[in-house]
Structure 1
Amino acid sequence: MSGRLELQGLRKSFGGVVATDDVTLGFEPGTLSAIIGPNGAGKTTLFHLITGKLPVTAGRVLLDGAEITGLDRREIVRRGIGRAFQVANLFPSFSVQDSLAAALMAHAGRTAGLFSTFPPPDVQRQAEEVMELCGLTHLSRTEARHLSHGDQKLLDIALALALNPKVLLLDEPTAGMGPDERWRMIERVYRLWEARKLTLIFIEHDMDIVFKIAQSVRVLRYGAVLAEGTPEEVRRNPAVVEAYLGAEHAL
């Protein structure tokens, strides 16, 4: 399966404003990494560049050694980059099961049966597997618009997983949740990563979560890489403490 993601000198500017400044990072297959930094540091812009939502001003994105910079967004997904957003991007009137079936069929180019009452058995089986993995089986017939905030975010992750990505990008998976719900969500994310062995990269502002589950942490500031390393190394980095963490998270 692999899933090595490389960013080489990635830059994005909007007129005179540089949102991403010469970002060079490597993510090894099967690793769990966090990207942190102040608001406006360029974290979400970086995800936009990886997934093709925004065109790259300069630099390259490579997946398993093959360049994907500038490819159509659907082709980037087909190559193995999946993404779940801060705001759940769902089929509001579809049930959980039908949402997943629709995503699977669209991804496979089987649009003729997209709105069929009875999805093909293989699609049904795949949808059921993803629902079980994401803890959504008991909500299979619930319409997406009637799900709780946390379950909507789980469905958004499930939709990304249904496309069998090598690399999964999660933009603040715990945003808008209370403390207990945040930890339930991140435990679910961790179990998904363990089960699928994919390369998982997440943006998160809760440092307790970051330092508990991430294998490595990358810190952005003003669109550039300020630091990278293990959670312990990042917590001890004086520049990171001064720019972002504050004394309460330093070791």
Structure 2
Amino acid sequence: MALLVIRKLTHYFGGLRAVANFNLSVQGGELLGLIGPNGAGKTTVFNLVCGFYKPTEGQILFQDKDIAGLRPHAVTAMGIARTFQNIRLWNTLSVFDNLCIAQHFRLGYGLLDTILRTGRYMRRERAVRRTAEELLEIMGLRHYAQEQPSNLPYGLQRRLEIARALATQPKLLLLDEPAAGMNPGEIQQLVETIRWIRQSFQLTIWLIEHHMRVVMSVCERVQVLDFGETIADGSPEDIRRNPRVIQAYLGSEELSHA
């Protein structure tokens, strides 16, 4: 059984068609990419999968359950986590607290447990703190635990956002332009981090990215959107040579140097 199956996904904003007849089947453990020019509909697809938009038409099946139209918190609880093109961290809280709060949707205790400090409350809070501490260590953020995210370099903010997504214990991780705004050194670290996360956490990863070197070096399969429609789907090498993809990117130079 495929982990994620999308069938004939279509979405309109008013009279504007953003995504048309999008189809995808994702097997557990895959690392795949979604690329295309600006405005092609890539982030809209992610927003549909994660519950930020309700599809106009089509199905989104996650572990054989229809999640189309579910609220974002319900999608997260089912095992799908994401990062955003524009970093969205809680900048008034510490790095450590960002990782703790990300886990609160699955705590399993109520208001009375909190007031009485019951055994269930104490056990769950210890587990939350332990997970946060482990992620700080794993992601190289331990020395910044009490810093506010806005005080961190951009690359570390991106790493924290990924760590916060991992704190939800997902089965599928969606990364929306994780290399945006990074310098070459940070991008290389990101590539290594994505590979390491996939192997260490046994995750399925689906990413949107404009840096072709990132896509071509980490993805096993790449799907290409243009004006909301899929124009290619295949291996990185197939995509690099595809005439329609080259035309969509206004020439082959960007793809040939990836």
TM-score (norm 1): 0.92
Give me the whole-angstrom Cα distance separating, in 2, the residues matched to 1:107 and 1:168.
18
CA distance in 1, matches of 2:149, 2:211: 26
Larger Rg: 2
Give the direction of change, closer, same or farther, for the CA distance of 1:186–1:31 in structure 2 (3 Å limit).
same
- Match of 1:145, SS? helix
Residues 90 and 144 of structure 1 are in contact (CA less than 8 Å); yes or no, is this contact kept in structure 2?
yes
CA contact (8 A) 2:77 2:105 kept: no
Deviation at 1:247, TM superposition (A): 2.1
Contact 1:3 1:30 in 2 (8 A): no
The answer to whether residue 222 in structure 2 is matched with residue 229 in structure 1 is no
Mean Cα displacement is larger for which, 137-146 or 195-204? 137-146
The separation in 2 between residues aligned to 1:3 and 1:87, in whole angstroms, is 30
Query: How far apart are 1:158 and its partner, in Å?
Result: 1.0
Structure 1: gaps of 5 or more residues: none
Q: Which runs of 5+ in 2 are unaligned?
A: none
Return the alpha-carbon distance in structure 1 between the equivalents of residues 137 and 57 of structure 2.
Answer: 41
Cα pair 2:2 2:25 within 8 Å, conserved: no
Distance 2:103 2:15 in 1: 41
Q: Which amino acid aligns with 2:49?
A: I
Tell me the equivalent position of 1:70: 69
Q: 1:240 aligns with which of 237, 245, 249?
A: 245
- The structure 1 segments of at least 4 consecutive aligned residues displaced by more than 6 Å after TM superposition are none
State the 1:231 CA deviation.
0.4
Give 1:6 deviation, angstroms. 1.0
| Matched position secondary structure for 2:92 | coil
Match of 1:194 among 187, 190, 199: 199
Q: Distance in 2 between matches of 1:106 and 1:68?
A: 18
**Counterparts of 1:96 and 1:3, CA distance in 2:** 35
Partner Cα distance (1:108, 1:219) in 2: 39
Q: Which residue of 2 aligns with 1:102?
A: 101
Task: From the superposition, tell whether residues 95 and 55 of structure 1 become closer, same or farther in structure 2 (CA, over 3 Å).
Answer: same
8 A Cα contact 2:99 2:164, kept in partner: yes
